[in-house]
Copies of this chain bind each other. A is one copy, B any other.
Amino acid sequence: MSRRVSVEEAAALLRGADDILLLLHQYPDGDTIGSAYALALALTALGKRVRPACSDPIPRKYDYLTEGLTFASFTPQFICAVDVADTKLLGSLAETGKQADLCIDHHGTNVEYAANLLLDDSCGAAAMVVYAVIRALGVPLDRRMAECLYTGLATDTGCFKYPNTTPAAHRIAAELIEAGARYATINESMFDRKSRARMDLERLALAGMQYHFGGRCAVMVITNRMVEEAGASEDDMEGLAPLPRQIEGVWVGVTLRQKADGGFKASIRTGDKANAADIAAYLGGGGHRGAAGCAVNRPLSEAIDCVLEAVANRVDGITE
């Protein structure tokens, strides 16, 4: 169990510390990167030595947040995890995470591994919590910090589209734009740019889209062969899973992605007509009401049958 701390208490802990290691979660996204780098910049402005650390490389699309920044080497005296609900999400840094002095997070599922925890699960993004901490530290927001925080905010709210976009999220966005964040450029690179390989992969995947239960369930398959044909990398896979559910009339969208061993990983997305977690649970997986997943280690045609059986059993009124 962590000691729960307020924004002011978290700021006081950071103000009293030096040689601070900031931990990002594995497979880093815009929120953990933006939040940690904004905090790193603010603490640097206070004259502290600080260093962000992540078990995985920062994807190239976030170069605009990290370029030109260098951080000193030091033996950490204070460890702060940002947007990390569980040390399991730290990859190779999990052991380091167990020593965390502070965690700044917005996940209601935080397992309280850090000595001190600043948690606000009313925030759609960790960047909103970090914004409050930077304000409490009294560091003026510069353009670079604002762009880090904007990136986090836009990432986790789907650019202000998702249900987690609170009035506070919009008001912070207004402040970040006023602090100079080049939001239009950031949004274009995050939301409106796709690699050629990604376009090819979408085309191949769309060509095989299957409709079941009178169009209420759509299944999209991504085989290793398609990935190879398109020349797609792991980065190119991001954001594919929601596609089948975006089709009008679809209650349950399923993306079956082949794994290296030939089996499949099912990503299930639903709206208010079905519960993705229920469907995934039928197949031994789990998740949330709107998005869940499971492994289906079968050849393709059997894997599809398994998923359809789960849908038929767990979704009321979906029969043909």
Interface residues of A (CB under 8 A from B): 159-163, 165-168, 170-171, 173-175, 177-178, 183-184, 187-188, 191-196, 199-200, 202-203, 206-207, 209, 211, 215, 242, 246-249, 271
Q: Which residues of B contact A206 (CB under 8 A)?
A: 199-200, 202-203, 206
Q: Which residues of B contact A162 (CB under 8 A)?
A: 184, 187
**A167 to B159, Cβ gap below 8 A?**
no
**A160 to B184, Cβ gap below 8 A?**
no
Nearest chain B CB to A67's CB is how many angstroms away? Answer: 18
The answer for the CA separation of A159 and B200 in the assembled complex, in Å, is 26
The answer for the CA separation of A211 and B178 in the assembled complex, in Å, is 39
Q: Which residues of B contact A242 (CB under 8 A)?
A: 192
**A183 to B167, Cβ gap below 8 A?**
no
Q: List 19 A-B contacts (CB under 8 A).
A: A159-B159, A159-B161, A160-B160, A161-B188, A162-B184, A162-B187, A165-B183, A170-B171, A170-B174, A171-B174, A188-B271, A194-B246, A194-B247, A194-B248, A196-B215, A202-B202, A203-B206, A203-B207, A207-B207
**A167 to B175, Cβ gap below 8 A?**
yes
The answer for the CA separation of A271 and B177 in the assembled complex, in Å, is 21
Q: Which residues of B contact A209 (CB under 8 A)?
A: 199
**B199 to A184, Cβ gap below 8 A?**
no
Q: Which residues of B contact A178 (CB under 8 A)?
A: 167
Q: Which residues of B contact A248 (CB under 8 A)?
A: 193-196
Instruction: Report the 7 A-B pairs with minimum CB-CB distance, sorted nearest first.
Output: A167-B174, A163-B184, A203-B206, A170-B174, A170-B170, A161-B187, A160-B160
